[in-house]
Structure 1
């Protein structure tokens, strides 16, 4: 199973991309839909919201009056956190139940509007961002949702910046054009990257490094893109947790003889047994273990421990996990 984070600014076309992914066979988990589900009439979630905010947030039919609730929490960080303390655990529990029910070979796409704003991008081995220029997004909101231009721009300004979303993106889907063009981009993403990535991850098989002349994400003039390296470091740090004494970028690694190079990360832990455990857990970051002669060759004399390499065919990375002697 491969889990993918999908996001994009308001009006960028994220919902269109999600629909196409579902048509292709992805299990799409819509965070907004789950948020509505856990606060439906008769749910414990709605009861908890009413207990916290009062009956004034209910509509005459007993359902949640979302505009009324929005007026209560808008601009009040404390009240917003109180709402999130109710809804976030419920949404997370429901999401995990849907993921647990998915087939073992599923590509699960978490459709999350505020993925970047939440600071949780490292929870997914791959983040896809649907991107479009601000003026295009504003025009869409005005045309399709009847919003005033000022309101559309205010809504966009309240979200992450384009630069922040692009820094979090492993894949940037350009949606400056029409819907057929976006669907074509999504089709290519599905067949050329997501399906092979899931297959490799499930099999514990690393993707081959790019051959000479193959295109990879990094610019040959700047071989290890800093944003790409930071995404890798964040994922490895999350997987290793407190077991890691340090997680550092040790430099670029040649990509199969190509002019491009790939970031290489060294994780220092107390002993080889911990290194093995961490290497297993790196599957959550899209990395799989190598064993035997292949691991010895790829480790390049880095010492005891285990080696993990990327299962993603379009952006394999190398992570060396090395056991070191305890110092205490």
Structure 2
């Protein structure tokens, strides 16, 4: 069983994924982290990114993240071009991961753009992590050392919260760590039962 885990930037998806990771019968796949690794390790991705965005895309054989972020979060067509290069590779990588995890009860597929990338279509269950917009902006500014404008530009490229929430099986309110843990345990127990 594949469980999609999503939520807007700063909602606390990774915090929730880390709680799920404590259960032995669960495997976690973080699409964002894996995409970052693949952009630095896959020769196919490297050459496609350089073709699309120029030689400045890589510095010392590592993705020039500030340069790329500056391009894609200001221009939707550039973001779409980057996603078109990276997503197919991540999808293949995820499929390999799924094949290796058949002994687990379920797989949590953490993806910030689960709906936007149509990855929700591969999931049996969808969980959205929710936090109010002002909280998300503050958390992201602190985490990434970003300006408010930079964070708001990134939010503009994600689906509206209501749209995600309406298409989710479960919603986790992530404002208080203890309450978040209780919600995760409850959902985990239901999912474990469903998988048997």
> Normalising by the residue count of structure 2, what TM-score does the alignment of the two structures yield?
0.88
Contact kept, 8 Å, 2:105 with 2:192, in 1: the verdict is no
C-alpha distance in structure 1 between counterparts of 2:123 and 2:102, whole Å: 18
CA distance in 2, matches of 1:81, 1:166: 23
SS of the residue aligned with 2:28?
A: strand
- State the partner residue of 2:135: 136
How far apart are the structure 2 equivalents of 1:82 and 1:133?
A: 30
Greater Cα radius of gyration, structure 1 or 2: 1
**1:174-189 map, 5 Å:** 174-176=173-175, 178-189=176-187
Q: Deviation of residue 42 (structure 1)? A: 6.0
Alignment of 1:1-328 (within 5 A): 2-25=1-24, 26-41=26-41, 43-59=43-59, 61-176=60-175, 178-191=176-189, 193-199=190-196
- Assess, with a 3 A threshold, how the Cα gap between structure 1 residues 63 and 109 changes in structure 2: closer, same or farther: same
Q: SS of the counterpart of 1:39?
A: helix
Q: Secondary structure at the match of 1:9?
A: coil
**Are the structure 2 counterparts of residues 28 and 133 from structure 1 closer, same or farther at C-alpha, using a change threshold of 3 Å?**
same
Residue by residue over 1:186-230, the C-alpha shift from the partner in whole angstroms, topping out at 9 and shown as x without a partner, is 111111x1101111xxxxxxxxxxxxxxxxxxxxxxxxxxxxxxx
- Aligned Cα root-mean-square deviation (Å): 2.1
- 1:250 aligned partner: none
- The separation in 2 between residues aligned to 1:23 and 1:186, in whole angstroms, is 11
For residues 72 and 150 of structure 1, do their structure 2 counterparts lie closer, same or farther at Cα, with a shift above 3 Å needed?
A: closer
CA distance in 2, matches of 1:132, 1:40: 31
Displacement, 1:170? Answer: 0.5
- List gaps (5 residues or longer) in structure 2: none
Equivalent in the alignment of 1:239: none
- Secondary structure of 1:93's partner? helix
Shift of 1:121: 2.6
Shift of 1:13: 0.9
